[in-house]
């Protein structure tokens, strides 16, 4: 038995609805009935990286980071394949000299980061002490 079971269905066109547990997610290559697959992947990456960032910060001794916001910039090549991803992270807490250590821990923890090919790993910048 698999650890994750998902049923994805497309009845016509380019939209696919996936049943993920009790949730449904519609992804559409044409952006008409939902976000396109590349946008979903970029959002999924950020959604995985934020909790990994929180855990990495806890491991570095920071208990409460407050709000975290990630602005994702994803580049596409001529074939519309993802060619680059960058995260600009704003975090309310001040991390000082520990920022790079927190990012490194988050990269080790984030499952999506581990799953992507190395040349597509996000280029991460952090603005700590942000007023969010």
pLDDT tens by residue, 72-85 = 999 999 999 999 99
In order of 6, 30, 33, 54, the CA distances from 19 in angstroms are 6, 20, 16, 28
Question: pTM score, two decimals?
Answer: 0.88
pLDDT tens by residue, 108-131 = 999 999 999 888 888 899 999 999
Nearest alpha-carbon partner for 94 in 121, 120, 126: 126
| pLDDT at 2 (0 to 100) | 85
Tell me the mean pLDDT per 10 residues along the chain, length 132. Answer: 90 95 96 96 97 98 96 96 95 96 97 89 90 86
| Whether the Cβ atoms of residue 50 and residue 68 lie closer than 8 Å to each other | yes
Topology (CATH) of 37-128:
GMP Synthetase; Chain A, domain 3 (3.30.300)
Domain extent listing, the chain? 1-35, 37-128
In order of 20, 57, 116, the CA distances from 119 in angstroms are 28, 25, 8
């Amino acid at each position: 038995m698999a650890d994750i079971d998902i049923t994805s269905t497309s009845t016509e066109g380019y939209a696919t609805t996936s049943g993920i547990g009790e949730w449904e997610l519609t992804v559409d290559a044409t952006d008409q009935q939902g976000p396109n697959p590349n946008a979903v992947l970029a959002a999924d990456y950020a959604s995985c990286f934020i909790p990994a960032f929180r855990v990495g910060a806890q491991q570095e001794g920071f208990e409460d980071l407050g709000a975290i916001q990630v602005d994702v910039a994803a580049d596409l090549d001529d074939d519309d394949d993802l060619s680059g991803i960058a995260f600009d992270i704003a975090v309310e807490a001040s991390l000082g000299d520990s920022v790079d250590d927190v990012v490194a821990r988050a990269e080790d923890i984030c499952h999506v980061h581990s799953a992507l090919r190395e040349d597509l790993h996000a280029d991460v910048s952090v603005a700590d002490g942000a007023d969010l």
